[in-house]
Amino acid sequence: MLTSGTTQRIGNPTTLVVGAVNPIQVLLKMKPAYSITHILFAILLSAVTLSGCSGKNETPLFLESNRKGGEADAPVKDVPTDILSTQKAFSNVSKKVTPSVVNISTVSRKKTVQPFFEANPLFEDFFGAPQTRRDKSLGSGFIISKDGYIVTNDHVVRDAESIQVKLSNDKVYDAKVVGGDQKTDIAIIKINAADLPTAVLGDSDKLEAGQWAIAIGNPFGLDRTMTVGVVSAIGRSNMGIETYENFIQTDASINPGNSGGPLLNVYGEVIGINTAIVAAGQGIGFAIPINMAKPVFAQLIKKGNVSRGYMGVTIQPVTEELAQSFGLKQAKGALVNDVIKGGPADKAGIRQGDVITALNGTEVKDPSHLQRLVAEAGIGTAAKITIFRDGKTLEHSLTLASADSAPKQRQREERRGRQQDGEADLLGLIVENSESGEGVVVAEVASGGVAAEAGMKRGDIIVSINRTRTPTTLEYTRIIKNSGRSGNLTILVRRGDASIYFALRLK
């Protein structure tokens, strides 16, 4: 298609002018040497040029859908109504919830590490105080009250010198930390504003794997990014991320900067707080269930910190071997390996070796689950504890105390002597009497023995075997001999301030 203006071909002695200039006029201005043939050719060329510019027969550069007023049909005419409904639902969630999602930027000052010189006590005399650097970071959060309380992750605002919050209307506010809880990685910050749009909290206890999950946040500084996936799993624990873990796993994309933002259901209700990702994987993100977070919110807003319930026991997992030795049908619950003297559990009659199987009617899956249930139950709450002891199921009642009042673990000294014969027994151990009479001390652990394979170590104090006390090497030897060359042994060991059960199978 020709356009207005001139186009010149460099190096040609004849200049052809097209477009807005009429070719006939050009020829009339030329010398008379040109014949009538030239003039007729010019007229034909002019007609072709004008018809080309008229657009009547022009081929379109692109096709436009008739859904937008064009002439082309959409490639897919019959889109299933359920897909359209789902698409509409996601759009509605974004429109309704995005105003309550905020972007959080922080500035913190961190010490510059000088590993080779800083340890020297004369370092500051020669070089002055250690240098610091200013670190900037981004995170997300969501508003839970019209007067400016905002939920985020504790690691987003921890040690921050300044915090700024940007709302969906691009207004920016300075914020202050109301309180934070490192054990759950939850924090509350506050801005001075009014009539703010607030998020609606849902019920994370009703979640099931396969349900839709929608994340909104600030990944890599990209304001209010929305990603969609499903709830991949619930109740993820023992991840090594926080002290109290009960994560929702999702494949909705969560990236750096999403931390503290909401995880939503299709109703736009907050079901979790986006917290962590598996850096080595894709589509594996974790969120704190909102029902676990609600009590933390309340305490942080009221007093700036969190107090939790306390039973007064130390516990360990129930392995398959321990379950068999205790007569349990399943390897579930929390095995009590020590009872703190004077604590709620001690007063209620719970003993070392009991397996706690339920708290207030809720089945205990493992030690971390029991810790979470006790913490969430609250201080001063009456709790009904179901235990398994000597093949029987028993129930005890106790009142949970504050974890802040828990006595410090008593310090113990490891006392060692020498083994009288120096020859390892059936377990691959050399033991000796302890001066305290508490049990027998493991002096040596033979490599490749059943005790070594189970994880026992030199210095462990064997308190009991199959729930029978072993105050001396004589009693220990008698029990080992009576067990024969085959069978299962449940050994209670004191290691430092901790008590640990081991299940050993003699070969």
pLDDT digits (tens, 9 = 90+) for 246-256: 899 999 988 88
Burial (0-12, 13-18, 19+ Cβ within 10 Å), 221: exposed
pLDDT 10s digits, 201-236? 999 999 999 999 999 998 888 888 999 999 999 988
Count of domains forming the chain: 4
Spatial contact of 313 and 305, defined as CB atoms under 8 Å apart: no
- What mean pLDDT comes out for the span 101-120? 68
Give whichever of 19-28, 441-450, 479-488 has the largest mean pLDDT: 441-450
CA–centroid distance for 59 within its chain: 56
Classify residue 422: in a domain, yes or no: no
Concatenating the DSSP letter of every residue in 93-105 gives HHHHHGGGEEEEE
Q: How confident is the model at residue 26 (pLDDT cuts 50, 70, 90)?
A: very low
pLDDT score for 13:
42
**Long-range contact pairs involving 462-467 (C-beta distance under 8 Å, separation at least 24):** 462/431, 462/491, 462/492, 462/493, 463/438, 463/439, 463/492, 463/493, 463/494, 463/499, 464/439, 464/491, 464/492, 465/489, 465/490, 465/491, 465/492, 466/325, 466/490, 467/353, 467/492
Enclosing domain of residue 490: 429-506
pLDDT score for 354:
93
Q: How far apart are CA 371 and CA 367, in angstroms?
A: 6
Q: How far apart are CA 257 and CA 276, in angstroms?
A: 10
**Of 185, 338, 354, 460, which residue is the catalytic one?**
185
Spatial contact of 245 and 368, defined as CB atoms under 8 Å apart: yes
The pLDDT mean for the chain works out to: 81
Is 253 one of the catalytic residues? no
**Long-range contact pairs involving 426-433 (C-beta distance under 8 Å, separation at least 24):** 426/450, 426/480, 426/483, 426/485, 426/506, 427/451, 427/480, 427/489, 427/504, 427/506, 428/452, 429/456, 431/462, 431/473, 431/476, 432/473, 433/472, 433/473
**Single residue among 306, 323, 341 that ends a domain in this structure:** 306
Whether 168 and 285 map to the same domain: the answer is: yes
Is 38 one of the catalytic residues? no
Whether 184 and 296 map to the same domain: the answer is: yes
Q: How far apart are CA 285 and CA 73, in angstroms?
A: 41
**Single residue among 253, 280, 306 that ends a domain in this structure:** 306
**Single residue among 306, 326, 361 that ends a domain in this structure:** 306
Q: How far apart are CA 502 and CA 481, in angstroms?
A: 18
pLDDT 10s digits, 27-86? 445 445 455 555 555 555 555 454 555 555 677 788 888 888 888 888 988 889 999 999
More confident residue, 320 or 270: 270
**Of 105, 155, 338, 499, which residue is the catalytic one?**
155
Distant-in-sequence, close-in-space partners of 307: CB < 8 Å, separation ≥ 6: 299, 379, 402, 403, 404
For 439, what's the count of Cα atoms within 13 Å in the CB-facing half-sphere? 20
Classify residue 121: in a domain, yes or no: no
- What mean pLDDT comes out for the span 183-193? 94
Q: How confident is the model at residue 335 (pLDDT cuts 50, 70, 90)?
A: very high
Whether 141 and 229 map to the same domain: the answer is: yes
User: How many helical (H) and strand (E) elements, i.e. helices and strands, does the chain have?
Assistant: 11, 26
Classify residue 66: in a domain, yes or no: no
Whether 224 and 332 map to the same domain: the answer is: no
Whether 389 and 495 map to the same domain: the answer is: no
Classify residue 137: in a domain, yes or no: yes
Whether 167 and 290 map to the same domain: the answer is: yes
- Any idea what the CATH number is for the domain that residue 250 is in? 2.40.10.120
Q: What's this model's pTM, rounded to 2 decimal places?
A: 0.66
pLDDT score for 273:
96
pLDDT score for 59:
78
Which of 241-255, 328-342, 398-412, 491-505 is predicted with the least confidence, judged by mean pLDDT? 398-412
If you compute the radius of gyration of the chain from its CA atoms, what whole number of angstroms results?
A: 38
Whether 277 and 165 map to the same domain: the answer is: yes
- Any idea what the CATH number is for the domain that residue 396 is in? 2.30.42.10
**What's phi and psi for 279, nearest 5 deg?**
-65, -30
Classify residue 254: in a domain, yes or no: yes
Is 259 one of the catalytic residues? yes
**Nearest residue to 311 (alpha-carbon basis) of 178, 185, 400:** 400
Cβ neighbours, 10 Å, residue 210: 10
Q: What percentage of the chain has pLDDT greater than the value 70?
A: 78
pLDDT score for 156:
92
- What mean pLDDT comes out for the span 168-173? 94
Q: How far apart are CA 250 and CA 211, in angstroms?
A: 10
Q: How confident is the model at residue 178 (pLDDT cuts 50, 70, 90)?
A: very high
pLDDT 10s digits, 451-488? 888 888 888 889 888 888 888 888 888 888 777 655 77
Whether 102 and 228 map to the same domain: the answer is: yes
Classify residue 160: in a domain, yes or no: yes
State yes or no: pLDDT of 428 exceeds 80: yes
Classify residue 118: in a domain, yes or no: no
Q: How far apart are CA 484 and CA 506, in angstroms?
A: 8
Whether 288 and 196 map to the same domain: the answer is: yes
- What mean pLDDT comes out for the span 349-361? 93
Whether 294 and 442 map to the same domain: the answer is: no
State yes or no: pLDDT of 125 exceeds 60: no
pLDDT score for 111:
55
State yes or no: pLDDT of 171 exceeds 90: yes
**Nearest residue to 184 (alpha-carbon basis) of 156, 154, 152:** 154
Which of 105-119, 212-226, 296-310, 424-438 is predicted with the least confidence, judged by mean pLDDT? 105-119
Classify residue 172: in a domain, yes or no: yes
Whether 299 and 373 map to the same domain: the answer is: no
Whether 106 and 191 map to the same domain: the answer is: yes
Q: For residues 159-176, b (16+ Cβ closer than 10 Å) or e, as one string? A: ebeebbbbbbeeeebebe
- What mean pLDDT comes out for the span 335-354? 90
Pairing of strands 212-217, 225-236: antiparallel
